[in-house]
Homo-oligomer: A and B are copies of this chain.
Amino acid sequence: MVVLRVTLLEGRPLEKKRELVRRLTEMASRLLEEPYEEVRVILYEVRRDQWAAGGVLFSDKEGA
């Protein structure tokens, strides 16, 4: 079993997330020699006012 938890800013379209989990699963399954079904992916979609780099929330960054 492998669990991949992906923390990313919210707002990606469903199609993107669908492709992301499929591709990550394929790769982890192949490289780690785990059965396909035993790879689990959880997406943690974080709001821009819940994530900071360099002490500044993404919601406060110019052009964010």
Q: Which residues of A contact B (CB under 8 A)?
A: 1-9, 12, 14, 16-29, 31-32, 36-37, 39-46, 49-57, 59-60
| Residues of B contacting A52 in the complex (Cβ-Cβ under 8 angstroms) | 21-22, 25, 40-42
- Copies of this subunit: 6
| Residues of B contacting A51 in the complex (Cβ-Cβ under 8 angstroms) | 1, 40-43
- Contact between chains at A6 and B8 (CB < 8 Å): no
| Residues of B contacting A39 in the complex (Cβ-Cβ under 8 angstroms) | 53-55
A9-B56 Cα distance, complex, nearest whole Å: 21
Picked from B12, B44, B55, the residue with its CB within 8 Å of the CB of A32 is B12
- Would you list 25 pairs from A and B whose C-beta atoms are within 8 A, ordered by A residue? A3-B3, A3-B6, A3-B40, A3-B42, A4-B7, A4-B24, A5-B5, A5-B7, A14-B49, A14-B59, A18-B60, A20-B28, A20-B32, A21-B52, A22-B52, A22-B56, A25-B54, A25-B55, A29-B55, A40-B52, A41-B52, A43-B46, A43-B50, A43-B51, A45-B50
